[in-house]
């Protein structure tokens, strides 16, 4: 049994505790351990024993509280305990000094890790990639962080190195798995300063490049590739998971109709972050699911058109804002399967549908991000296209529908959708929150679906199996 120091200080308003141990031997050992750290006024120390004894007699004597409880099988009488404490309260002789330890043998020099692929950013998506691409323990892959507070530890069982401990001589690529703050500006600048070329830097906004690089190291069979395609999107491993999610649905719809090509439209491009991302996701899904994508980006090139009235949300958007910085330059940087269509979509949509409408590559996903009501009304005319040029069901990303308290179905994009539905008995656009069974995200609320009820598939006139959608299998 050990009498705690706190118990022995009646002058302080502290909890009075008797710390018991399994019998006297354990108690002695604990007391011996506790002694060096006990404060000087502890009654267990020499000179304070009397205070301790007085206290025990006053508070814990058998006459007032019965026997003092210990964890030993037999309660210890107070008298014995006082004797025991007195003995241990005496000054203990100093233990003889330990002989000096010999100098440790010098450690053999451990070479710095020299990976071919470096995942930069201790974030869960890095672990997701390591596990999905079967890179666990791969000698050519390391996970590292440039931020000292995140490096040097462990992330869900994966070691996180400090970037500066890594040799870069064999490095093929760094995949930036940090959060995409300001389009990864900081990590990109950091890697440039460390001497990496742009070809060695891949961000999570570039799943096509990332997949090519990772499967160059650990090849994947066709079936494995399909798994990677579906699972990476379900697990939200790449940037703009909402676009990826809708594009998987578009690809899957095409496959269900025995088509190998599908068309994607983004209304509102601004400086091209979303459009570039669409191109990268398309590249990734073409490699993994084998579906090709045509991508079209619509923008005035000059920013938002004139605000007409309250329906255009003048409190949120100003005329001429969000102008494309340089659409000629952006156009030259896009891959061959992507085109920019510059001008107000009020004027450019009809010629586009005439020129590019196709039953072999129907429109399978639409991003509606033109902010204002009048622009949205123009954009939604896309859903008046020839039925076979549309997929029977089309995910629609309604960017300005949910995340701001001012957004409503009585103004802006929401009003345009409501009025569209009122005008079209066989074409309806409706919010649908799916996949809440796992990985539900805030952005699920911005996903709508356009239902083309006059499509041959929805009329039962064309074969297509929609009974088992992708997520039931992967």
Ligand X SMILES: C[S@@+](CC[C@H](N)C(=O)[O-])C[C@H]1O[C@@H](n2cnc3c(N)ncnc32)[C@H](O)[C@@H]1O
Q: How many residues bind ligand X (CB under 6 A)?
A: 22
- By CB under 6 A, what part of segment 319-358 binds ligand X? 322, 344-346
Distance CA 313, CA 307 (A): 8
- The C-alpha atoms of residue 314 and residue 60 are separated, in whole angstroms, by 78
Q: How far is the CB of 466 from ligand X (least distance, A)?
A: 29
Site string for ligand X, 7-46 (x = CB under 6 A): ----------------------------------------
The only residue of 230, 270, 365, 448 in contact with ligand X, by rule CB under 6 A: 270
Cβ-Cβ contacts under 8 Å for 459 (sequence gap 6 or more): 453
When binding is defined by CB under 6 A, the residue of 42, 286, 300, 388 that contacts ligand X is 300
DSSP structural state of residue 321: -
Least distance between ligand X and beta carbon 124 (Å) = 24
Exposed / middle / buried, residue 210 (Cβ in 10 Å: 0-12, 13-18, 19+): buried
**Nearest approach, Cβ of 202 to ligand X (angstroms)?**
20
- For residue 299, state whether it binds ligand X (rule: CB under 6 A): yes
Say whether residue 281 binds ligand X (CB under 6 A). Answer: no
Other CB atoms within 10 A of residue 124 CB? 13
Binds ligand X (CB under 6 A): choice among 18, 151, 273, 316: 273
Q: Calculate the dihedral angle through the C-alpha atoms of 180, 312, 416, 407, rounding to the nearest 10 degrees.
A: 50
Least CB distance to ligand X at residue 272 (A): 7
Residues in the chain: 474
Which residue lies nearer to ligand X by CB, 25 or 321?
A: 321
Distance in Å, CB of 410 to ligand X, minimum: 19
Tell the smallest beta-carbon distance from residue 376 to ligand X (Å): 8
Least distance CB 459 / ligand X (angstroms): 32
Query: Minimum Å distance from CB 375 to ligand X?
Result: 3
Give per-residue burial for 80-113: e unless 16+ CB within 10 Å, then b. Answer: ebbebbeebbeeeeeeeeeeeeeeeeeeeeeeeb
Instruction: Collect all residues with Cβ–Cβ distance below 8 Å to 102 and sequence separation of at least 6.
Output: none
Closest distance between ligand X and the C-beta of residue 267, in Å? 6
CA distances to 353, 365, 379, 386 from 346, rounded to whole Å, are 12, 19, 7, 18
> Which is closer to ligand X, CB of 171 or CB of 275?
275
Among 371, 391, 429, 444, binds ligand X (CB under 6 A): 371
Residue 435 CA from chain centroid, whole number: 17
The DSSP code sequence of 348-364 is HHHHHHHHH--SSS-EE
Site stretch for ligand X (CB under 6 A), options 24-32, 149-157, 174-182, 364-372 = 364-372
Residue that is written with structure tokens 């509102």 in the block:
268
Select the residue interacting with ligand X from 378, 388, 401, 407 (CB under 6 A): 378
Query: 3-state DSSP call for residue 201?
Result: strand
CB of 305 to ligand X, least distance (A): 5
269 near ligand X, rule: CB under 6 A: yes
Question: Tokens for 273?
Answer: 């972050």
The piece of 152-160, 175-183, 261-269, 453-461 that touches ligand X (CB under 6 A) is 261-269
Return d(Cα 229, Cα 244) in angstroms, integer: 10
Which structure tokens are listed for 377? 């009304």
Identify which of residues 19 and 323 has a Cβ nearer to ligand X in the complex: 323
Residues 6+ apart with CB under 8 A from 444: 433, 434, 435, 436
Nearer CB in complex with ligand X: 130/380: 380
Window 182-211: residues binding ligand X (CB under 6 A): none
User: What are the distances in angstroms from CA 451 to CA 17, 66, 205, 263, 423?
Assistant: 71, 81, 30, 16, 14
Binding of residue 370 to ligand X (CB under 6 A): yes
| 27 vs 395, beta carbon nearer ligand X | 395
* 298 near ligand X, judged by CB under 6 A: yes
Can residue 268 be called a binding residue for ligand X (CB under 6 A)? yes
The nearest distance, CB 207 to ligand X, in angstroms, is 16
Looking up tokens 């300001």 gives: 182
Using CA atoms, how far apart are residues 55 and 64, in angstroms rounded to an integer? Answer: 12
> Which position among 115, 128, 207, 274 is part of the footprint of ligand X (CB under 6 A)?
274
298 burial level (CB within 10 Å; 0-12, 13-18, 19+): buried
Among 174, 203, 263, 375, the residue binding ligand X under the rule CB under 6 A is: 375
Question: Minimum distance between the CB of residue 295 and ligand X, rounded to whole angstroms?
Answer: 12
Span near ligand X by CB under 6 A; candidates 38-46, 201-209, 246-254, 370-378: 370-378
- Contact positions toward ligand X, by CB under 6 A? 266, 268-270, 273-274, 298-300, 303-305, 322, 344-346, 369-372, 375, 378
């Amino acid at each position: 049994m050990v009498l705690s120091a706190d118990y022995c200080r009646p002058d302080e308003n502290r909890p009075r505790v008797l710390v018991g141990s399994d019998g006297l031997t354990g108690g002695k050992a604990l007391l011996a351990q506790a002694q060096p750290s006990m404060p000087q006024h502890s009654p267990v120390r020499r000179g304070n024993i009397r205070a301790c004894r007085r206290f025990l007699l006053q508070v814990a004597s058998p006459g007032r509280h019965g026997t003092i409880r210990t964890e030993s099988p037999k309660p210890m009488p107070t008298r014995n305990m006082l004797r025991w404490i007195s003995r241990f309260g005496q000054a203990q002789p100093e233990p003889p000094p330990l002989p000096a330890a010999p100098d440790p043998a010098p450690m053999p020099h451990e070479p710095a890790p020299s990976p071919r692929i470096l995942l930069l950013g201790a974030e869960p998506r890095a672990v997701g990639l390591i596990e999905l691409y079967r890179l666990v323990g791969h000698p050519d892959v390391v996970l590292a962080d440039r931020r000292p507070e995140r490096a040097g530890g462990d992330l869900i069982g994966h070691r996180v190195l400090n970037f500066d401990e890594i040799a870069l001589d064999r490095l093929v690529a760094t995949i930036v798995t940090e959060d995409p703050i300001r389009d990864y500006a900081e990590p990109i600048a950091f890697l440039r300063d460390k001497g990496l070329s742009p070809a060695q830097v891949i961000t999570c906004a570039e799943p096509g490049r990332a997949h090519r690089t990772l499967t160059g190291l650990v090849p994947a069979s066709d079936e494995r590739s399909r798994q990677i395609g579906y699972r990476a999107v379900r697990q939200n491993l790449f940037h703009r998971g909402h676009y990826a999610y809708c594009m998987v649905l578009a690809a899957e719809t095409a496959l269900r109709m025995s088509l190998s090509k599908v068309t994607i439209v983004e209304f509102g491009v601004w400086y091209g972050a979303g459009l570039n991302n669409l191109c990268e996701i398309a590249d990734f899904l073409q490699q993994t699911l084998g579906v090709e994508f045509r991508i079209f980006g619509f923008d005035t090139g000059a920013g938002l058109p004139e605000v007409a009235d309250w329906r255009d949300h003048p409190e949120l958007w100003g005329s001429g804002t969000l102008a494309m910085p340089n659409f000629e330059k952006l156009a030259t940087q896009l891959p061959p399967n992507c085109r920019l269509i510059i001008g107000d979509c009020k004027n450019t949509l009809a010629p586009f549908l005439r020129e590019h409408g196709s039953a072999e590559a129907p429109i399978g996903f639409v991003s509606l991000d033109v902010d204002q009501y009048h622009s949205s009304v123009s954009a939604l005319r896309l859903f008046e296209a020839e039925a076979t040029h549309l997929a029977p069901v089309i995910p629609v990303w309604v960017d300005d529908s949910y995340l701001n308290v001012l957004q409503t179905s009585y103004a802006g994009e929401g009003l345009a959708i409501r009025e569209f539905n009122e005008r079209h008995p066989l074409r309806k656009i409706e919010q649908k929150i799916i996949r809440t069974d796992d990985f539900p995200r805030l952005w699920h609320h911005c996903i709508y679906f356009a239902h083309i009820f006059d499509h041959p598939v929805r009329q039962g006139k064309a074969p297509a199996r929609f009974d088992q959608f992708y997520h039931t299998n992967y």
